Amino acid sequence: MKAEQPRHVGARIQRFEDIRLLSGLARYIDDIRLPNMLHLNFVRADIAHARIVGIDSSALADIGYPTWVFTGEHTAGLSMKAHQDYPEMQYSEQPLLAEGKVRFVGEPVAVVLAEDAYKAEDAAEHVMVEYDSLPVVGTMKQARDASLPPLFDGWTSNVIVQRQMKGGDLEAARTAAAHVIKRTYRTQRQAGVPMECRGVVAHYNPADRLLTVWSSTQMPHLVRTYIAEELNLPESRIRVVAPDVGGGFGIKGQVFGDEVLVAWLAMKTGRPVKWIEDRREHLVASLHARDHEHTLEAYVSADGRLLGLKADITVDNGAYSTFPFTAAGEPGMVGKVLPGPYDLKAYEATFRAVATNKCPIGTYRGVARPSAVFSQERLMDDIALELGMDPFELRLKNIVREFPYKNVLGFTYDEGSYAQSLEQMRGLLAKDIVDATASRASETTRIGVGFACFIEQTAHGTPDFTRRRVPIETGYIAARVEMSPDGEATIDLGLQNHGQGLETTMAQVAADALGILPENIYVRHGDTLTTPYSVGTWGSRGGPLGGGAVHIAATKLADKLRAIAAHLLQVKADQIELANGKASVRGNPGNHIEIRKLARAALRNVDQLPEGMTPGLEAHASLDGPRDGSYSNAVHAAVVEIDVTTGKMKLRRFVVVEDCGTILNPLVVDGQVRGGVVQGIGSAMFEHFIYDAECQPLTTNFADYLMPLAPEIPDIEVHHIETPTPLTPLGAKGLGEGGAIGPAAAIANAVANALGVGVISTPLNTNALWKLSQHIREAV
């Protein structure tokens, strides 16, 4: 079922939204200013684990301006519940404001409201919290130490959840193996860092009993549902608006306690309430990511066939489970995806999330897969080294080549270009491989080439979430397409656009079906009042499922336009073609009528409609993901140059060969891939959220938490292979996250290649590289 004669889909159209975003016309959460508004400042825990002895705000009496203070006593009973219905998962809740105990530095303990943000921040300094400190659980090891007390009453240990997945006969694989290769790999804790921090504004209007909540979120409908359930309000009386959102990257793809809290405060105080997160709060207390340790054991035949893989996975989840993906999501994803693009017949993974006194982790671009692919692809290189095989040969020997392919866990991979992309990458790197080999003679500068081959399950929906029993529950994406009497169209989209180019690509999709120009289609999103219920933008689903829903709805609308045209032109509906603003008779283009006249007929001159046809031009569609989603694939490669005397690394090249099925807009795909790669470079080389032994955060600003900057980023070369999937209406697969998945593995492999050492962890910063180069310096 492909769109007929795609014209706008696939075109290199510049993003419409950029006019607004690049000229200062965008409206972000902090641009929302309401009369009579109160500003909120959090009092946050400055100690990682403690009992709250008392909260004293009496000093505020003398501050000279009005303030309002709320603590966990006021919000008692309101909490974030993020539980997955597994018998082996230990239940916990995070109160909106700490009740009795704090469990990580940055946890909200109280709020102070004042009439401007400066006053609120000054006033917050006057609220004194007395703590009785408790020993911290600071590492994975401590969390798995049964002798240490659990973080929550009623828990038996600090292992939140531990599960297993398996397929095939692992014992037989072990017995048959000529080589057993066992390694432990570590990917560090990160903060996901959108350019715009988070923020919430809420306003309750008693006249129509309407609570309006503006939030810098990727999932406005889910925020609405959670607030309604927690505050016991009818959903019809809550409107959640995500204004322009300055990046989300999955960090804003959660419902946060502060969203519920600000809404509650607006109702409680009867005044609009605003909270704008600052960078320190964002880094310390919003949401962290990664922080994995994987021990992998590969069973390999003498000629390099991967016979079996055993994995033990631990994720340091921090103190609380987050909604809606929960503490079980991250480790579960690793267990699920480790078989990767390889034809593996036996597999067993044990995976767990442990609780520590740190900021909770959650979904960040790539979600667990950057870590999984790091381990998987480092392992492949380690196997190649052990067997003395070329790393391309090893992968090509094991790569899945026939589709659809049912993997060892029962997941079906749709069409892909796994082998082809590897071959193409090998060609692209030929000269660099020669340069790398030549550099082995150098005492100071070593060149390395590394790559990572991976697949990514995208476009997943309800079947996947049902299997995983996650509270997200559902995965369809809905769209409504409406034409106005002038022949222009509006798409009301259940997705939220925060950098994906949806205001352009969705218009391209609808334009092909409707026969009008993309610039005549207005895409509205991010407002529960105007858009159909959906769970938001995350998980590499917007293009394939959102685009699919728009395509189906627009096609329904086009059918009606064709029926009206057929009536007016006195032909059959299947003879009508819609293009260039006209409905024409196939084979007789001279016989046509303008689409805007059809629209006018449908909405105003309804006497022109065929007998019995209802007026109006509006269609709705929703589309869910296929059973196992659709698998995008890519190979990422890095060419690095390392000064072994200083540890300084330069990226000479970063190359991507990717296949996301049908490309809706090449400019958007390139932009998504490049943005993701930059974040992946951050994971590989710079970003590291560090706690000391007392779980005090050390990297609370951009001088200590290092993001990749423009001078560190090479030109990122992107090559495309287009293998449309039969599983989505347009043949598109998801690609929003893929860019971030490969770089850590590719760069680590390049470093291992350059220095001739095993690389087991990231970030590969100068200090780490200097250590890894020690043997070369000593040999001089």
Partner 1 sequence: MVVKGEPMRPASFEYHRATSLEHALELLSQFGDDGRPIAGGQSLVPMMNFRLARPGHLVDINKLPIAGIEVLGKTLRIGALTRHEAYFGNPLIARHFPAFLDAVHYIGHPTIRRNGSIGGSISHADPTAELPAVAVLHDADIVVRSTAGERRIPATEFFLSAYVTALEPGEMVVAVELPLPPETSTGSFIELGERSGDFATASVGITLEHDGSAVTKAAMVCSGADLFPIRAPEIEDFLAGQPLIDPKAKEAGQLFAESIDPVDDHIASADYRRGLIAQLTQRAITTACTRALGKK
Length of the chain: 780
Which of 55, 98, 117, 479 is in the footprint of partner 1 by CB under 8 A?
117
Which position among 14, 59, 118, 486 is part of the footprint of partner 1 (CB under 8 A)?
118
Whichever of 532 and 763 has its CB closer to partner 1, that residue is 763
Query: Do residues 59 and 125 lie in contact, with contact meaning Cβ atoms separated by under 8 Å?
Result: no
Q: Map residues 68-107 to x or -, x wherever contact with partner 1 holds by CB under 8 A.
A: ----------------------------------------
* Least distance to partner 1, CB of residue 771, Å: 7
Question: Applying CB under 8 A, does 771 fall inside the site for partner 1?
Answer: yes
Q: Which is nearer to partner 1, 46 or 393 (CB)?
A: 46
- How many CB atoms lie under 10 A from the CB of residue 711? 5
The verdict on 761 binding partner 1 (CB under 8 A) reads: no
Q: Closest approach of Cβ 697 to partner 1, in Å?
A: 10
648 touches partner 1 by CB under 8 A? yes
Q: What is the DSSP letter of 608?
A: G
Report, in Å, the least distance between residue 526 CB and partner 1.
Answer: 20
- Where does this chain touch partner 1 (CB under 8 A) — which range of 216-224, 658-666, 726-734, 760-768? 760-768
**What is d(CA 777, CA 543) in angstroms, rounded to the nearest whole number?**
49
- Of residues 7-36, which lie at the interface with partner 1 (CB under 8 A)? 28, 30-31
User: Which range in 347-355, 420-428, 556-564, 764-772 contacts partner 1 by CB under 8 A?
Assistant: 764-772
Q: Report the C-alpha gap between 163 and 353 in whole angstroms.
A: 9
- Report the alpha-carbon distance of residue 728 to residue 459 in Å, rounded: 8
CA distance 542 to 460: 11
Q: Is 704 in the site for partner 1 (CB under 8 A)?
A: yes
Q: What is the DSSP string of 443-472?
A: SSEEEEEEEEEEEEEES--HHHHHHHT-TT
- What is the separation of C-alpha 75 from the centre of its chain, rounded to a whole number of angstroms? 31
- Segment contacting partner 1 by CB under 8 A, of 60-68, 86-94, 185-193, 701-709: 701-709
Q: What are 779's two structure tokens?
A: 């040999």
Q: Quick check: 715 binds partner 1 (CB under 8 A)? A: no
Rounded CA-CA distance 295/335 in Å is 12
Q: Is residue 399 within 8 Å of residue 615, measured between CB atoms?
A: no
The 258-277 contact track toward partner 1, x by CB under 8 A, reads ------------------xx
Q: Which residues of 525-549 are buried (b: 16+ CB within 10 A; e: fewer)?
A: bbbbeebbbbbbbbbbbbbbbbbbb
Check binding of 59 to partner 1 (CB under 8 A).
Answer: no
DSSP state of 661: B
Query: Contacting partner 1 (CB under 8 A), which of 1, 59, 128, 709?
Result: 709
Stretch that binds partner 1, among 9-17, 299-307, 717-725, 767-775 (CB under 8 A): 767-775
Strand partners, 241: 214, 527
User: How far apart are the C-alpha atoms of 86 and 468, rounded to whole Å?
Assistant: 9
User: Whose Cβ is closer to partner 1: residue 372's or residue 678's?
Assistant: 678
DSSP label at residue 46: S
Q: Report which residue type is found at 571.
A: V
Of 404, 411, 340, the residue nearest 377 (C-alpha): 340
* 363 versus 700: smaller Cβ distance to partner 1: 700
Using CB under 8 A, which of 46, 115, 122, 722 touches partner 1?
122
Q: Work out whether 278 is an interface residue with partner 1 (CB under 8 A).
A: yes
User: Interface with partner 1 includes 115 (CB under 8 A)?
Assistant: no
Decide if residue 6 touches partner 1 (CB under 8 A).
no
280 binds partner 1 (CB under 8 A): yes
Q: What does the H/E/C string look like for 393-437?
A: HHHHHHECCCCCEECCCCCEECCCCHHHHHHHHHHHCHHHHHHHH
CB of 125 to partner 1, least distance (A): 8
382's CB contacts (< 8 A; 6+ apart) are 181, 183, 758
CB of 37 to partner 1, least distance (A): 12
CB 112 within 8 A of CB 68: yes
Nearest-5° angle of CA 180, CA 184, CA 189?
155
Site string for partner 1, 675-694 (x = CB under 8 A): -----------x-x-x----
- Residue 714 lies near partner 1 (rule: CB under 8 A): no
Q: How far is the CB of 41 from partner 1 (least distance, A)?
A: 9
Distance of alpha carbon 549 from alpha carbon 559, whole angstroms: 15
Mapped onto helix, strand or coil, the DSSP state of residue 276 is strand
Q: Which stretch binds partner 1 (CB under 8 A): 7-15, 157-165, 409-417, 695-703?
A: 695-703
693: helix, strand or coil: coil
Does residue 706 belong to the site contacting partner 1 (CB under 8 A)? yes
Binding to partner 1 in span 174-233, by CB under 8 A: 197
Residue 677 host element (H or E): helix 666-681
Q: Where does this chain touch partner 1 (CB under 8 A) — which range of 151-159, 519-527, 640-648, 719-727?
A: 640-648
Angle between helices 430-438 and 418-428 (to 10 degrees): 50
The answer to whether 516 touches 581, Cβ cutoff 8 Å, is: yes
Choose between 498 and 688: whose C-beta lies nearer to partner 1: 688
The reply on whether position 155 binds partner 1 by CB under 8 A is: no
Query: Helices 369-387 and 743-755, interaxial angle, to 10°?
Result: 30
Which residue's CB is nearer to partner 1, number 713 or number 760? 713
Shortest Å distance, C-beta 521 to partner 1: 31
Closer to partner 1 by CB, 280 or 719: give it.
280
Figure out which of the listed residues 154, 587, 711, 779 binds partner 1, where binding follows CB under 8 A: 711
Choose which of 508, 622, 699, 728 interacts with partner 1 (CB under 8 A).
Answer: 699
Binding part of the chain for partner 1, among 42-50, 162-170, 663-671, 766-774 by CB under 8 A, reads 766-774
3-state secondary structure 196-230: CCCEEEEEEECCCCEEEEEECCCCHHHHHHHHHHH
Among residues 154, 151, 157, the alpha carbon closest in space to that of 135 is found at: 151
Q: Is 121 in the site for partner 1 (CB under 8 A)?
A: yes
Please report whether residue 404 would count as binding partner 1 according to CB under 8 A.
no
Interface residue list for partner 1 (CB under 8 A): 28, 30-31, 117-118, 121-122, 197, 276-280, 645-648, 686, 688, 690, 698-699, 701, 703-704, 706, 708-709, 711-712, 765-767, 770-771
